[in-house]
Amino acid sequence: MKKSLLSGVKPTGRPHIGNYFGAMKQCIDLQNSGEYECYLMVVDYHALNFIQNKEEMRQLTIDLAIDYLAIGLDLKKSVLFKQSDVSAHTELAWIFDTIVTMPYLMRAHAYKDAEAKNKEINVGTFNYPVLMAADILLYDTDVVPVGQDQKQHVEYARDIAEKFNFIFKESVFKLPEPMILNHVAIVPGTDGRKMSKSYGNTIPLFASQEEITKAVMSIVTDSGTGIPMNVFNIHKLFKSEAELKPIYEANTGKYKVLKDSLIEDIDAFIKPLRERREELAKNSDQVAKILEDGAKRADEKAAAKLIQAKKAVGVL
Ligand code: AMP
Ligand code: TRP
């Protein structure tokens, strides 16, 4: 039997190369290995914590589905769906709510960060890991390709699965493993910090040539004469270190030359993706249909698991 893969991205804005190299690419690679049944999700209910405008939510959802298709999601091998279409996710999250404690959720990084910044935290943000655990556990998921920032969330899913199985004395849920590749666990942005939509330091995955140029030119470099590490660390995503070393050594201090070379390499990589995306976007009506079909397939699997959970707790 095939192993099961599940991952998701929030429709909160254009994906960037950190999303791609950190997580999305691994999903497509494993899909193409033929060894996995893949569930790839537009995580709209989690995004509702950030996007509270209906036109924006609808557009970002369709856009992200197109993005997935443009990077190679193959509908013959993967199920593409949106989270809110499969009601088992929120239903199971409620069941989990009754076994997860508040102190446990208060240890979550995302919650602690928000609290440290004195932000007003809504219940959806506090509960975020519980819904994510439901997302993962409904599909008997073996592997969850994600970036480093999601490691704790996958650990929460494991803990919750174990706790449920223990309390209700039945192995309903399989324990998932995160898949985090070391060299891309934290893809750096143009300022050297983690690339993140919220830091404004991104290189969009489907960027135009002008956008790539603008982003690369904004990469922060020190005023020294050595190797500009912020440029090099992004460049490593597109060329091997062995190829890059001689280029960087021959051009120490010549930041403009090195940035131009990076622009060229990023554009060569993005251009086919960008073109494929442009083609797909012409038929965006079809995308709604693809998500509908995906929802049916995902629902079949998730509903069966939810029944198992409901029987285990005694409401069915
Ligand atoms: P998000 O856009 O927050 O829904 O993230 C989607 C996926 O991209 C998650 O698996 C994140 O862990 C991953 N990700 C986001 N930013 C980065 C980054 N800078 N480096 C590596 N992975 C990332
Ligand atoms: N929390 C993830 C993020 O911010 C998105 C997500 C929600 C997810 N549910 C998931 C990722 C299930 C993997 C599996 O990126």
| Closest residue CA from atom 8 of ligand 2 | 8
Atom index in ligand 1 nearest the CA of residue 12 equals: 2
Atom index in ligand 2 nearest the CA of residue 128 equals: 1
Write out the two tokens for 239: 């060329």
Q: Are strands 78-82 and 177-179 parallel, antiparallel or unpaired?
A: unpaired
Convert the pLDDT of each residue in 207-248 to its tens digit.
Answer: 999 999 999 999 999 766 688 999 999 999 999 999 999 999
**Distance from residue 149's CA to the centre of ligand 1 (Å):** 7
Q: Which of 148, 149, 152 has most ligand 1 atoms within 8 Å of its beta carbon, as the pocket-test mutant?
A: 149
Q: Which of 4, 5, 10, 195 has most ligand 2 atoms within 8 Å of its beta carbon, as the pocket-test mutant?
A: 10
**Distance from residue 194's CA to the centre of ligand 1 (Å):** 9
Which band of pLDDT confidence, cut at 50, 70 and 90, is reported for residue 306?
very high
**Distance from residue 213's CA to the centre of ligand 1 (Å):** 22
| Closest residue CA from atom 13 of ligand 2 | 7
d(CA 234, CA 212): 12
Convert the pLDDT of each residue in 135-192 to its tens digit.
Answer: 999 999 999 999 999 999 999 999 999 999 999 999 999 999 999 999 999 999 999 9
Q: Mean pLDDT over all residues of the chain?
A: 97
Lowest-pLDDT range of 103-107, 207-211, 249-253: 249-253
All structural domains of the chain: 3-184+284-313 (3.40.50.620), 197-279 (1.10.240.10)
d(CA 215, CA 206): 13
Q: Give residue ranges with CB within 6 A of ligand 1.
A: 9-10, 18-19, 22-23, 146-147, 149-150, 184, 186-187, 194-196
At residue 88, the pLDDT reads 99
Over 90: is that where the pLDDT of 78 sits? yes
**Distance from residue 256's CA to the centre of ligand 2 (Å):** 37
Q: Are strands 36-42 and 177-179 parallel, antiparallel or unpaired?
A: unpaired
At residue 208, the pLDDT reads 98
**Distance from residue 185's CA to the centre of ligand 1 (Å):** 9
Mean pLDDT computed over 113-132: 94
Atom index in ligand 2 nearest the CA of residue 131 equals: 9
CB 280 within 8 Å of CB 70: yes
**Distance from residue 132's CA to the centre of ligand 2 (Å):** 6
Over 90: is that where the pLDDT of 264 sits? yes
At residue 92, the pLDDT reads 99
Residue showing tokens 């409901």? 310
At residue 81, the pLDDT reads 99
At residue 212, the pLDDT reads 98
At residue 226, the pLDDT reads 82
At residue 225, the pLDDT reads 67
H or E element, residue 143: strand 143-145
- State phi, psi for 120 to the nearest 5 degrees: -80, 120
pTM for the structure as a whole: 0.97
Atom index in ligand 1 nearest the CA of residue 145 equals: 10
- Report which of residues 200 and 253 the model is more confident about: 200
- Report which of residues 226 and 69 the model is more confident about: 69
At residue 222, the pLDDT reads 78
Q: Which of 27, 135, 137, 179 has most ligand 2 atoms within 8 Å of its beta carbon, as the pocket-test mutant?
A: 135
Which band of pLDDT confidence, cut at 50, 70 and 90, is reported for residue 123?
very high
Per DSSP, helices labelled H in the chain are 17-19, 25-33, 44-47, 54-70, 88-97, 102-106, 109-116, 123-126, 128-137, 151-167, 209-217, 229-235, 241-250, 255-281, 284-313
At residue 223, the pLDDT reads 67
Q: Tell me the longest C-alpha to C-alpha distance in the chain.
A: 70
Q: Give residue ranges with CB within 6 A of ligand 2.
A: 6-10, 43, 46, 132, 135-136, 144, 146, 150, 153
Mean pLDDT computed over 109-133: 94
- Concatenated DSSP letters of 225-271: SS--HHHHHHHTTTS-HHHHHHHHHHTTT-HHHHHHHHHHHHHHHHH
**Distance from residue 194's CA to the centre of ligand 2 (Å):** 17
Mean pLDDT computed over 268-289: 96
At residue 253, the pLDDT reads 86
